[in-house]
């Protein structure tokens, strides 16, 4: 039994206008995704990834396999979306997720990731980096070709060697971890780790005990450093941990997070901008996908097999290099976030979040009767859906469209609202009686027994904690209802001409 308390904050940062990060927090799953791609594609990718993972993971038992499967499903969803819409071509995202899982060894926490969004463990006052960045620079460090200090200044440190949604298959790295009460996990996008040192992270995690306040303080710290990228921080506080987690060997799990120098000087910044400058000019994400540098066979050996055309990746890298760094460099200026700005932001976040919850509530408070072409159906929600919330099929009744008056079909096709499922059922019963009365005028109405098949009502999973900044741009989900059109049969009275 593992119990958590979580807090998350996502911010566009001080330079970007769009936040392409997405975070999700719940008792059973927490995740951070950092999207990339032109125009609006980056935030679409990160949102599709998280939405799909949440939905997939919540359908079965929480196991490591389910988490891996969920991430693979998310990969397919992002990949398919990028194929189906030209404006999403080439989009992708990082994904770092953690979930308590059950298995033969009891309850543990699984941490799965693709890309360079990180997961840290803060335990006994010490910060440890649990994830390996799937980036060119980090791969070079792991292969001993680069010192960590040099990697922090490497021009290609933002270029990913793995990402979600760019290939039909994805290579997920998973770590199983025993957690003790008092542990804190920190999930973040590279917007935090590129701006804030491990030392500052530790200091904030040590002093800010509330997870949301700690996440806010970390985001503020990144913003004070100029936050050139979107910053997302999600903190998981372990209230009740694994049995026996106290005896674990932390050093064996991960070494202490070292204080890598954070890019500050202009020459370094120019380097980083040249490497990932596409987003400054074209709106692409901070991270681009490239294979390992060609002259490094050892790093290449570690790359996951890729079926994406080499040309596409080269083009992405070339585009990144081509667009200059002037745009971003000229607006790089550390700005302090004032209390007033913060209060305003929190107010906006609160209102957006409230609106989001209200729409979700409103969309599911009503039922309506419709038809699937052959049978009458009862759905929960608003006919046609409300913004991103689609109606849910609750019941396919045994009443067919042949058992009711054809004149009623048109209303049913657009959906007849009813306040409750009971009201919806009696409305259908009335339609049948009306039809029978019309067919046998004068006959006493027989007592009809309606056999109804009860469909399982899917639980709406708690999307409560998606940060408001990502919520505001959710696209409306379009529901396509296939309705068979039944042409009403009209009996034309034959008039016999008077001879
Ligand atoms: Mn980023």
pLDDT in tens, 260-269: 544 443 333 3
Number of helical H runs and strand E runs in the chain: 17, 16
196, 220 contact by CB (below 8 A): no
Q: How far is the CA of 162 from the centre of ligand 1 (A)?
A: 14
Q: How far is the CA of 182 from the centre of ligand 1 (A)?
A: 28
In a domain? residue 470: no
Q: What pLDDT, on a 0 to 100 scale, did the predictor assign at position 256?
A: 86
Question: Residue 341's closest CA among 462, 224, 479, 434?
Answer: 224
- 139-153, 258-272, 477-491: least confident range: 258-272
Predicted confidence band of residue 100 (pLDDT cuts 50, 70, 90): very high
Ramachandran region, residue 37 (left: φ > 0; alpha: ψ -120 to 50; beta: rest): left
Q: How far is the CA of 257 from the centre of ligand 1 (A)?
A: 19
The number of C-alpha atoms within 13 Å of 310 and in the hemisphere containing its C-beta is 4
In a domain? residue 445: no
In a domain? residue 450: no
Q: What pLDDT, on a 0 to 100 scale, did the predictor assign at position 141?
A: 85
Q: Please determine, for residue 187, whether its predicted confidence score (pLDDT) is greater than 90.
A: yes
Question: Residue 19's closest CA among 348, 390, 323?
Answer: 348
Q: How far is the CA of 106 from the centre of ligand 1 (A)?
A: 35
Q: If DSSP codes are grouped into helix, strand and coil, which group holds residue 397?
A: strand
Residues 307 and 348 in one domain: no
Q: If DSSP codes are grouped into helix, strand and coil, which group holds residue 52?
A: helix
Residues 265 and 406 in one domain: no
Q: How far is the CA of 475 from the centre of ligand 1 (A)?
A: 22
Residues 26 and 137 in one domain: yes
Question: Residue 216's closest CA among 32, 342, 28?
Answer: 342
Q: How far is the CA of 382 from the centre of ligand 1 (A)?
A: 37
Q: Please determine, for residue 411, whether its predicted confidence score (pLDDT) is greater than 50.
A: yes
Q: How far is the CA of 84 from the centre of ligand 1 (A)?
A: 25
95, 187 contact by CB (below 8 A): no
Q: What is the pTM of this model?
A: 0.55
Q: Tell me, what DSSP letter sits at residue 202?
A: H
Q: How far is the CA of 39 from the centre of ligand 1 (A)?
A: 15
Q: How far is the CA of 117 from the centre of ligand 1 (A)?
A: 8
Q: How far is the CA of 286 from the centre of ligand 1 (A)?
A: 5
Q: How far is the CA of 189 from the centre of ligand 1 (A)?
A: 5
236, 6 contact by CB (below 8 A): yes
Residues 148 and 288 in one domain: yes
Q: How far is the CA of 309 from the centre of ligand 1 (A)?
A: 24
Predicted confidence band of residue 443 (pLDDT cuts 50, 70, 90): low
Residues 184 and 217 in one domain: yes
Residues 298 and 353 in one domain: no
The CATH number linked to 60 is 3.60.40.10
Q: Cα–Cα–Cα angle for 199, 202, 206, nearest 5°?
A: 145
Q: How far is the CA of 143 from the centre of ligand 1 (A)?
A: 24
Residues 9 and 132 in one domain: yes
Residues 127 and 254 in one domain: yes
In a domain? residue 326: yes
| Residue 351 to residue 386: CA distance in whole angstroms | 18
In a domain? residue 456: no
Q: How far is the CA of 109 from the centre of ligand 1 (A)?
A: 25
In a domain? residue 222: yes
Q: How far is the CA of 390 from the centre of ligand 1 (A)?
A: 31
Burial classification of residue 318, based on how many CB atoms lie within 10 Å of its CB (0-12 exposed, 13-18 middle, 19 or more buried): exposed
Q: What pLDDT, on a 0 to 100 scale, did the predictor assign at position 488?
A: 54
Residues 260 and 356 in one domain: no
In a domain? residue 296: yes
- Mind listing the pLDDT tens digit for each residue in 209-219? 999 999 999 99
- Boundary residue ending a domain (336, 360, 394): 336
Domain extent at residue 222: 3-336
In a domain? residue 492: no
Residues 190 and 245 in one domain: yes
Backbone angles phi, psi at 240, to 5 degrees: -125, 125
Q: How far is the CA of 402 from the centre of ligand 1 (A)?
A: 57
Ramachandran region, residue 161 (left: φ > 0; alpha: ψ -120 to 50; beta: rest): alpha
Q: How far is the CA of 94 from the centre of ligand 1 (A)?
A: 9
Q: How far is the CA of 441 from the centre of ligand 1 (A)?
A: 72
Domains in the chain: how many in total? 2
- Boundary residue ending a domain (336, 355, 380): 336
- Boundary residue ending a domain (439, 454, 488): 439
Predicted confidence band of residue 348 (pLDDT cuts 50, 70, 90): confident
DSSP codes of every residue in 116-141: S-EEEEEETTEEEE-S---BHHHHHH
Residues 424 and 300 in one domain: no
Residues 187 and 225 in one domain: yes
Token readout for 60 is 């079965």
């Amino acid at each position: 039994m593992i119990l958590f308390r979580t807090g998350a904050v996502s911010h566009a940062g001080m330079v970007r206008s769009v936040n392409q990060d997405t975070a999700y927090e719940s008792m059973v799953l927490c995740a951070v995704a950092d999207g990339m791609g032109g125009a609006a594609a980056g935030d679409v990718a990160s949102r599709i990834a998280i939405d799909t993972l949440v939905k997939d993971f919540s359908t079965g038992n929480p196991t490591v396999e389910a988490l891996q499967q969920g991430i693979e499903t998310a990969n397919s969803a992002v990949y398919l979306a990028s194929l189906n819409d030209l404006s999403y071509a080439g989009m992708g995202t990082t994904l770092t997720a953690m979930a308590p899982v059950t298995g033969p060894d009891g309850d543990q926490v699984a941490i799965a990731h693709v890309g360079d969004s990180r997961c840290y463990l803060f335990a006994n006052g010490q910060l440890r980096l649990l994830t390996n960045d799937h980036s060119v620079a980090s791969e070079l460090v792991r292969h001993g070709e680069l010192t960590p200090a040099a990697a922090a200044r490497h021009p290609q440190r933002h270029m990913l060697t793995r990402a979600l949604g760019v290939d039909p298959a994805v290579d997920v790295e998973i770590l199983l971890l025993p957690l003790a009460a008092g542990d804190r996990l920190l999930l973040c996008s590279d917007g935090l780790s590129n701006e804030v040192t491990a030392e500052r992270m530790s200091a904030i995690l040590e002093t800010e005990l509330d997870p949301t306040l700690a996440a806010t303080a970390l985001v503020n710290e990144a913003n004070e450093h100029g936050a050139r990228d979107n910053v997302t921080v999600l903190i998981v506080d372990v209230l009740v941990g694994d049995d026996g987690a106290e005896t674990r060997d932390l050093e064996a799990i991960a070494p202490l997070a070292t204080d890598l120098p954070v890019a500050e000087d202009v020459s370094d910044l120019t380097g980083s901008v040249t490497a990932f400058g596409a987003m400054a000019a074209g709106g692409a994400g901070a991270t681009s996908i490239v294979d390992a540098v060609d002259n490094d066979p050892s790093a290449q050996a570690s790359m996951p097999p890729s079926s994406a055309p080499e040309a596409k990746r080269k083009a992405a890298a070339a585009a990144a290099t081509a667009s200059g760094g002037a745009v971003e460099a000229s607006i790089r200026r550390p700005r302090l976030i004032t209390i007033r700005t913060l209060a305003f932001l929190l107010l906006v976040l609160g209102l957006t979040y409230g609106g989001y919850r209200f729409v979700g509530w409103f969309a599911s408070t009503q039922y309506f009767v419709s038809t699937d072409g052959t049978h009458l159906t009862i759905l929960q929600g608003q006919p046609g859906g409300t913004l991103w919330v689609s109606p849910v099929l609750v019941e396919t009744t045994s009443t067919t469209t042949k058992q009711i008056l054809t004149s009623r079909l048109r209303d049913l096709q657009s959906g007849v609202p009813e306040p409750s499922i009971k009201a919806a059922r009696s409305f259908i019963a009335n339609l049948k009686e009306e039809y029978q009365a019309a067919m046998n005028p004068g006959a006493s109405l027989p007592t009809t027994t309606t056999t109804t098949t009860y469909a399982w009502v899917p639980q709406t999973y708690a999307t409560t904690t998606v940060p408001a900044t990502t919520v505001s741009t959710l696209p409306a989900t379009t529901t396509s209802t296939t309705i068979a059109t039944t042409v009403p049969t009209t009996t034309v009275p034959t008039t016999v001409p008077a001879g």
